[in-house]
Amino acid sequence: MAGYTALMQENEQLAKAKQKHLKDVMDSSVKNYNGKILQYYGDGSLSIFPSAIDGVNCAIKIQQRLKQEPTVDLRIGIHTGDIAVEDDGVYGDGVNLASRIESLAVPGSIFISEKVADDVKNQNEISIRELGYFEMKNVRVPVRVFAVANTGLVVPSREELKGKTKPPVNRLAVLPFVNLSPDPENEYFSDGITEELLNSLTKVEGLQVTSRTSAFAFKGKLDDIREIGIKLNVDKILEGSVRKSANRVRITAQLINAADGYHIWSENYDRDLTDIFHVQDEISSIIANRLRENLSLASQKEHLVKAPTKNVNAYTLYLKGLHYWYKLTPPDNYKAIECFQQAIELEPGYAQAYAMMAIVYSNLGATGQLKPEKAFGFASEYSDKALKLDDSLAESHIAKARVYLFYEKKWQDAYNALQKAMQLNPAYTEAYRLLGYYYIVVGKKDEAVKILEKALEIDPLSTVINNYLGEAYTMAERYDDAYRMAEKQLEINPTMRTAIEMKGWCTGMKGDWGKAMEYFMEVHRLADHPLKSLGPLGHAYARLGQKEQALEIIGKLEHRQAIEPDMVLDGDLLMVWWALEDRFKIYRDKVIHHLNNCLTKGLDTMHYYTEYPMMRGIKEYPEIRELLEKNVSKTNSN
């Protein structure tokens, strides 16, 4: 209740009448919505509900009833999470965060956390509005807050909440520079300049830079700068444009205050392409010193951009390779490799090009698009070359870590390489993602969740990080959290197969394999190929006891393997045979055969794969355990 203490001093009788009105409303409303009041403490209370929907509907009813005389100005905060109820009180992060959100609210409002918003967003009778991220006392990460916006409720602007929480400070987003070149194909160049500036600014001590994927989510859009600041939780935004014509380039850059859209600094640069690295260094240094004013540090004259090559044509090919790499499809992976290879032919000492070639090859090997022995042979060779040429590149250490993780099973070496990469570039979330993989294979699933939640702070709009965090939640058997992550991604892209598949696994592992099968059927339909995306569907058939349908799926997978010999489909076959074995107890030989095939063919993601909850029990077979242990020992002795 807002203003209760002051009212007690001014009019004790009215204060007590309001308190009684609040208690009467709370007692009846909480009960009507299946809740329970755990504590009363003078001017406030703490209640729990079996669902977020019940809690929010109850809060709406309470605020509506408190408009009746004697009116009560009430703030309500709602969060969902684990709590511990003991004789002397109620404890847990769920309680603490609900309390912080309530303190941020204003009289007559209902503020909810992102988790609650995810639970109620599809309820027609509940309207919500995002307020953005907020720093809260004793809460490690910024909290994304929403207001319930039903008729009659107070929904404040972010400006009205000033003073209640710290605004983000020293957080920068670098938006994609607009390509103003006559040739639209030069877009790869403007994107590359953006990324180079972003990477250089991560070197500024005390400055947090939003990762590439979240910043690039606004590419080609006309969102208000203030809204972007709220969505990315930053206080400064760098934007600009690039015009490239023949051997000349014009770069325009503006540093903007996200809170009000005020331009702090802007400049135009007309240069020869041979000066491109000098321009990047000049822009980065100016911005760094502007931001240091907030950091209470003196301006410095350091070089944030080191010219990676003296050959501008090689650099242009490198940027084009990055452009294809970020498309993430196998055909584009090969185009990226071709560009990086051409860059190396022009500049044999180009460390970044070697590092990116290693990363792309390891991706092809880890996803079964290229035989792992061949893919990781190249990845190992090129990552070693990159490290020898320049061990100050985060990409070089990430490239090597991928070889350690996905092929050589040198877990500690992978961990060390990733720590070095994170030290060199704290905004490069690929290192966090791979560290999450490391924690899974060594059995530390809760640590995997923590590191990927940290990655999401840096890169909140990244579909890759959202997907891997959802996968980590699945690994940790936090199926509701994983399901929410999938729903969040499907809001952005309703046909994202990985998100639909995640919903299927979460639903199946909670016991409803019939519903899971529907999700997997949709994944197969979206693949638009009779032989693709069949493994999860076969697994669901087996779990439902539909043996003939599961065996039919196996036949299709074997047919695809025969007509596409470079593909490694033993993992999909293992997925279906294991579900049949777990159900019927007659297919152990098939399970062992395909797991052994995976390891023999170099598909060493099996150490991660067998940690999935749907594969629970597979490592209890002595033969399986022995194969996995031998695989690690053999690789590490080579």
Average pLDDT for 108-112: 95
Phi, psi of 77 (to 5 degrees): -125, 135
Percent of the chain with pLDDT over 90: 41
Examine the pLDDT at 234 and tell me if it is beyond 90. Answer: no
CATH code matching the domain that covers 171-307, chosen among 3.40.50.10610, 3.40.50.1950, 3.40.800.20, 3.40.1160.10: 3.40.50.10610
Q: Name the band, by pLDDT with cuts 50, 70 and 90, for residue 31.
A: very high
In which band, very low, low, confident or very high, does the pLDDT at 116 lie, cut at 50, 70 and 90? very high
- The DSSP line for 359-384 is HHHHHHHHTTSS-HHHHHHHHHHHHH
| Closest by CA position to 62, among listed 89, 44, 38, 82 | 44
Q: Are 619 and 628 in contact, with CB atoms under 8 Å apart?
A: yes
**What local confidence, expressed as pLDDT, does residue 165 receive?**
65
pLDDT at position 385 is 95
Per DSSP, the three-state class of 109 is: strand
C-alpha to C-alpha distance for 312 and 615, rounded to whole angstroms: 50
Class of domain 4-161: alpha beta
Q: What pLDDT is recorded for position 299?
A: 43
| Average pLDDT value for residue range 70-83 | 89
Please give the pLDDT value at position 379: 94
pLDDT at 310 over 70: yes
Residue 465 has pLDDT above 80, yes or no: yes
Q: Which residues are 245's β-sheet partners?
A: 248
* Average pLDDT for 598-627: 87
Which tokens sit at 627?
Answer: 């194969």
> Could you give the CA distance from residue 424 to residue 200 in angstroms, rounded to a whole number?
11
Residues 6+ apart with CB under 8 A from 322: 188, 191, 192, 195, 336, 356
Instruction: Specify the DSSP class assigned to residue 217.
Output: T
Q: DSSP letters of 125-143?
A: T--EEEEEEEB-TT-SS-E
pLDDT computed for residue 556 by the predictor: 96
Q: How many CB atoms lie within 10 A of CB 223?
A: 12
Kindly tell me if the per-residue pLDDT of 294 is higher than 70: no
Query: Average pLDDT, stretch 206-222?
Result: 83
Whether 624 has a pLDDT exceeding 80, the answer reads yes
Give the confidence band of 555 by pLDDT, cuts at 50, 70, 90.
very high
Q: State pTM to two decimals.
A: 0.69
Please give the Cα distance from 558 to 551 (Å, whole number): 10
Does 533 have pLDDT greater than 80? yes
Identity of the amino acid at 85: V
Separation between Cα atoms, residue 101 and residue 75, nearest integer Å: 9
Cα–Cα distance, 503 to 489 (Å, whole number) = 11
φ/ψ of residue 180, rounded to 5: -105, 15
User: If you search the block for the tokens 């990226």, which residue do you land on?
Assistant: 336
The yes-or-no verdict on residue 400 having pLDDT over 90 is yes
Rounded to 5°, angle at Cα 95 from 94 and 101 = 90
pLDDT, position 295: 45
Domain ranges of the chain: 4-161, 171-307, 529-638
